[in-house]
A and B are shown apart, each in its own frame.
Chain A
Amino acid sequence: MGYQSVSENSHLLSRIAAGDGHGENSSYFDGWKAYDSNPFHPVSNPGGVIQMGLAENLLCLDLIKEWIKEHPEASICTEEGLNYFEAVANFQDYHGLPSFRQALARFMGKARGGRVSFNPDSIVMSGGGTGAQETLAFCLADPGDAFLVPTPYYPAFDRDFCWRTGVRLLPINCFSSNNFKLTKAALESAYETARKNNIRVKGVLMTNPSNPLGTTMDRDTLNTLLTFVNQKRIHLICDEVFSGSVFNQADFLSVCELLDEEPSYDKSLIHIAYSLSKDLGLPGFRVGVIYSYNDTVVKCARRMSSFGLVSSQTQHLLSHMLNDDDFTSKYLAENKRRLHTRHEEFTSGLEKFGIKCLPSTAGLFIWMDLRQFLKENTENAELKLWRVIIDDVKLNVSPGSSFRCTEPGWFRVCFANMDDATMHVALKRIGDFADKVKDETTQLDDATMHVALKRIGDFADKVKDETTQLQQKKRFNKKLRLSFCRINDGGITQHLMSPHLQSPRSPLVKASH
């Protein structure tokens, strides 16, 4: 009925629509497909793939649900809340509900231990963190301009920041030798590389606490960054989407605190992106925030927010919830406690198997070091190992190369999107896998060890090949191509996306079919 292939249609579509700048056409989704086609369930599918590639926080939804039950007036669908219905349903002012902005300002301040206070008038809504990043790119840069971003970084930044805006992201390379900390030398080097290529750098984009590292920036690094952007007269976007997911409050230093401490820093260069998707575990509600100290940016971003306003029903509910001081205090404390407990259990479990993680104090994931299991120190070897983890160990984790990590062998593993029992199953599987590799290793001398490793590698290859043949009809790419290729068409590059960008098949989807 009139269906044409994409290539036939592509002359009718824009370059943006016809191209691959959205980053979703990558063989990377093998992990997701493996999960989708065989999702773990403790009862109905205990041998299925466990989803550990999804940075979601399920640990505290019970607290939120409880609050909603106890506060029917916050929901416009209840008897108690119905009298708000008309005003709320009618409200489309892009300034947002004043009570909502106030509630967000309070919550954001509280997440920073009360050390920062936010002005509700500088808060702008956006369509989730995704919308916030894109809007900031539109406000701060023109097509062809670039922002520098420390590696490893959240893969969806390539879509969010670059796809429709025409802005580029250029890496600032960080290394495990200093725990992936950002250095002045790395900043300067990245800036210089851009300059040599005649690319105008408009700013730096960083995530603090970091995704995928789970670390927070120390005072020195933040000061280095602030000094750098001030000297170059460029912007700094701080994505603080995990600011409420720090296990130990004292460990998190927001860039906003340093601005207050040091008046010589130009505040008009600083912009914060935030969202309630991680800290409150509500990605479905699409609550994104832009906070800027620059009035021009606030005004422009507010006008652009028309393209992604938060549903007034959601604003109404959350303004009640986040203005409830007792609740938010208890929630933030309990969230940290549960995350900490989960993090501890997971990392100590891994340690027993001789698997180390980057020391971290925040986030919904750990940055796991599997370099010891690599056949060789290459990206290909990382991919082969990843294939084994998905197919053999049956865990969907995210390989470091998809985050542009400079060194092979690192994996991001999410731990907050499952219950305790599932986590223990995952740990056991990892343990069994590690033991198997170690047993085979310790029993052998060097030469034999190489043979053994080769066999494991061959086994992994074989498994991969078999899987590839099986899955050929399902469009699995034979060559697992996680390397990034630059397409030189106006700066739009083809990148991978971490699986948590492609949201999983929720029961709500399945239930309807």
Chain B
Amino acid sequence: MVSSKAARNSHGQDSSYFLGWQEYEKNPYHPTNNPSGIIQMGLAENQLSFDQIESWLESNPDVLGLKHDGASVFRELALFQDYHGLPTFKNALAEFMAELRENKVQFDPSNIVLTAGATSANEILMFCLADPGDAFLVPTPYYPGFDRDLKWRTGAEIVPIHCSSSNNFKITKSALEEACERAQKKKLRVKGVLVTNPSNPLGTTLTRHELEILVDFICAKRIHLISDEIYSGTCFGIPEFISIAEVIGGRIDDVEDQVHIVYSLSKDLGLPGFRIGAIYSSNKAVISAATKMSSFGLISSQTQYLLAMLLSDKHFTASYISENKRRIKIRHDQLVEGLADVGIPCLESNAGLFCWVDMRHLLDKNTFTGEMELWKKIVYDVGLNVSPGSSCHCTEPGWFRVCFANMSTETLDVAMQRLASFVESGGQGEGPKGSRGLKKLMYWVRQLSLADDRTER
């Protein structure tokens, strides 16, 4: 009766990534109301810097839109549905993106397409660049939402580029070639590569060498490169973040038409609710098509207006960017040190709102089943919702993504204490929930096979 898309489970929302959230929703931690609840560490949100935006709002009452330079803009905003977007907002966004890259590159506002979050930006790019059945290569581990965003309604395929811990999950030329061959064996036409830089879930930035390898590769194959740079403002340490924009600018061969950047204000500014995404491309045909497609998810004009004012304030953006990074670094270090204290290493990282944590030594068995068992203990016995590496398509069991920027310092302390107790008890689960055993295991096996409502990320 309904379409195949509606009838099948291709939305990808039954993965463990989303199931953990469900458990959190049923029993959310609160320091006073529910101190034994589950602490949410599976949500890559930036809640560290709201106060900075709030104090800016307090000093800028005109942003309500009823008055601007004395005249009301309410009516114009209410009617403004031009898919080219509010020019003042695009200008401010272009400048902000440049500022995040220390002005080493400049962005032309007319090459920006505004979208309803990065979710929509990635889907639109797929609709523009790939026909149903075409494939994009994506390095593993990758953000689980890509399975929905890139594939679900577009009919495109993802072919993973296998990266391994042996070289800290870096992208290599051979891994790229191998992924290409695998695609060809499946008779899939490869239309491009999609990378996330800084990486989700690794929290690392791509090196110049990796970026050059990628550009060489797409050049030779005449395919596209999408660089999802939504965490570009979260790089707090060395090495510095290098955007793909910096790399293609310096090359002799002309690849600008094949390279596209995705951005969003959900992570850097911590405003996921406002649904602010963008595609940046020098390819006029892509911009033209993507602009038309943005009709299906334009950004609310009142939100564009608010952000235009906010981002046009250069004093604000400069101090926000540096303070935001400072706070992320502090929180990152707190997590890394807390884990190190109990003998749990992390992949060394310099960006993102999470750490890629190595719990291979805590596995009963070095298999993905072993990883799921460990994960369930962490969720139920330790009371922490973290994301298992398998949900990110990691090829090696035992890695977990643990977020640190969506909670207070105190809550992070509690999380570290719980983890310490768990490890010290030999991983036998004497945490707040107590031991669950086989019953829970069976429950989870059932859960993983059920289609159900999931909250958004």
Contact = CB atoms under 8 A, between A and B. Distances in A.
B50 A89 contact: yes
B273 A88 contact: yes
Interface stretch (B202-210, B286-294, B344-352, B391-399): B286-294
B22 to A, nearest CB: 13
A508 B303 contact: no
Given A65-B74, A92-B456, A304-B153, A140 B297 contact: no
Q: Which of B2, B87, B120 has the most chain A CB within a 10 Å cutoff?
A: B2
A4 B285 contact: yes
Contacts of B266: 92
Interface stretch (A281-289, A358-366, A382-390): A281-289
30 contacts: A2-B282, A13-B129, A14-B127, A75-B64, A77-B64, A78-B61, A82-B58, A85-B57, A90-B47, A95-B455, A127-B116, A134-B296, A139-B2, A139-B3, A139-B5, A140-B3, A142-B3, A142-B4, A164-B153, A164-B296, A268-B1, A281-B78, A284-B80, A285-B301, A296-B2, A302-B453, A309-B117, A309-B456, A311-B302, A314-B302
A90 B298 CA distance: 19
B82 interface: yes
B106 interface: no
Interface in A465-513: 503-509, 512-513
Interface residues of B, number: 91
Q: Which of B4, B5, B6, B7 has the most chain A CB within a 10 Å cutoff?
A: B6
B88 interface: yes
A297 interface: yes
Interface in B264-322: 266, 270-275, 282-286, 288-290, 292-293, 295-303, 306
Contacts of A6: 284-285, 288
Nearest to A9: B285
Interface string A146-181: 000000000000011000100000000000000000
A497 to B, nearest CB: 10
Interface string B1-34: 1111111000101000000000000000000000
A306 B148 contact: yes
Interface string A1-31: 1111010011011111110001010000000
B272 A164 contact: no
B119 interface: yes
B153 A138 contact: yes
B81 A283 contact: yes
B214 interface: no
Interface stretch (A56-64, A339-347, A447-455): A56-64
B246 interface: no
Given A64-B78, A90-B47, A313-B306, A308 B273 contact: no
Interface string B435-457: 00000000000000000011111
A69 interface: yes
Interface string B124-148: 0001111110100000000000001
Contacts of B119: 306-307
Interface of A: 1-4, 6, 9-10, 12-18, 22, 24, 56, 58, 61, 64-65, 68-69, 72, 75-79, 82, 85-86, 88-95, 127-128, 130-131, 134, 138-143, 145, 159-160, 164, 233, 235, 268, 277, 281-286, 294, 296-297, 299-300, 302-304, 306-314, 317, 503-509, 512-513
B74 A300 contact: no
Interface in B38-57: 45, 47, 50, 53-54, 57
Contacts of B134: 14
B185 interface: no
B257 interface: yes
Q: Which of A58, A309, A317 has the most chain B CB within a 10 Å cutoff?
A: A309
A78 B222 CA distance: 51
A20 to B, nearest CB: 10
Contact of B129 (A14, A88, A284, A302): A14
Contact of A2 (B6, B87, B254): B254
A22 B292 contact: yes
Given A95-B455, A509-B87, A61 B74 contact: yes
A99 to B, nearest CB: 14
Contacts of A61: 74-75, 78
B221 to A, nearest CB: 11
Contacts of B78: 61, 64, 281-285
Contacts of B433: none
Contacts of A2: 254-257, 282
Interface in B147-165: 148, 153
B300 A311 contact: yes
Given A89-B270, A140-B3, A304-B153, A285 B284 contact: no
B130 to A, nearest CB: 6
A6 B80 CA distance: 29
A69 B61 CA distance: 12
Contacts of A233: 1
Contacts of B88: 508, 512
Given A12-B222, A68-B66, A82 B54 contact: yes
A294 B120 CA distance: 25
Contacts of B282: 1-3
B365 to A, nearest CB: 34
Contacts of B453: 95, 299, 302
Nearest to B121: A307
B116 A307 contact: yes
B302 A281 contact: no
B66 A58 contact: no
Contacts of A268: 1
Interface in B71-89: 72-84, 86-88
Contacts of B302: 284-285, 311, 313-314, 317
Given A17-B289, A75-B64, A65 B128 contact: no
A284 B301 contact: yes
A91 B273 contact: yes
A352 B130 CA distance: 57
Given A286-B299, A307-B119, A509-B82, A17 B256 contact: no
B3 A12 contact: no
B411 interface: no
B381 to A, nearest CB: 27
Interface string B361-372: 000000000000
Contact of B58 (A79, A143, A507): A79
A58 B79 contact: yes
B91 interface: yes
Contacts of B80: 283-284, 503, 506, 508
Given A85-B54, A284-B302, A506-B79, A311 B275 contact: yes
B57 A77 contact: yes
Contacts of B288: 6
Given A13-B285, A140-B3, A308-B116, 13 more contacts: A14-B131, A65-B66, A78-B64, A89-B273, A130-B295, A139-B5, A159-B295, A294-B2, A297-B6, A307-B119, A308-B296, A504-B82, A508-B88
Contact of A300 (B5, B57, B270): B5
A84 B57 CA distance: 12
